[in-house]
Amino acid sequence: MTNRNQNHPVKGSIIAVEPIRKIKDVNLIKTMLKDKPRDYALFITGINTNLRASDILNIKVHQVHGAKPGDELTLNEIKTKKPRRITLNRATIAAIQPLLKQMQANGALELEGPLFRGQRGNGLTVPSLSRLVKKWCQDANLKGNYASHTLRKTWGYHQRVTFGVGLPELMVCFNHSSQRQTLDYLCIQPEEIKSVYENEL
Percent of the chain with pLDDT over 90: 67
Q: What mean pLDDT do residues 8-19 have?
A: 60
* pLDDT value, residue 150: 97
Work out the mean pLDDT of the chain and round it to a whole number: 88
Residue 78, φ and ψ in degrees, nearest 5: -65, -40
Flag whether pLDDT at 171 surpasses 70.
yes
* pLDDT value, residue 24: 97
Read off the pTM: 0.86
Domain residue ranges in the chain? 18-197
* pLDDT value, residue 1: 39
3-state SS string over 54-66?
Answer: HHHCCCEHHHHCC
* pLDDT value, residue 2: 40
- pLDDT tens, residue by residue, 27-86: 999 999 999 999 999 999 999 999 999 999 999 999 999 999 999 999 888 888 888 889
- pLDDT tens, residue by residue, 135-166: 999 999 999 999 999 999 999 999 999 999 99
- pLDDT tens, residue by residue, 23-36: 999 999 999 999 99
Flag whether pLDDT at 175 surpasses 90.
no
* pLDDT value, residue 9: 40
What would the CATH number be for the domain defined by 18-197? Answer: 1.10.443.10
- pLDDT tens, residue by residue, 106-117: 888 899 999 999
* pLDDT value, residue 196: 67
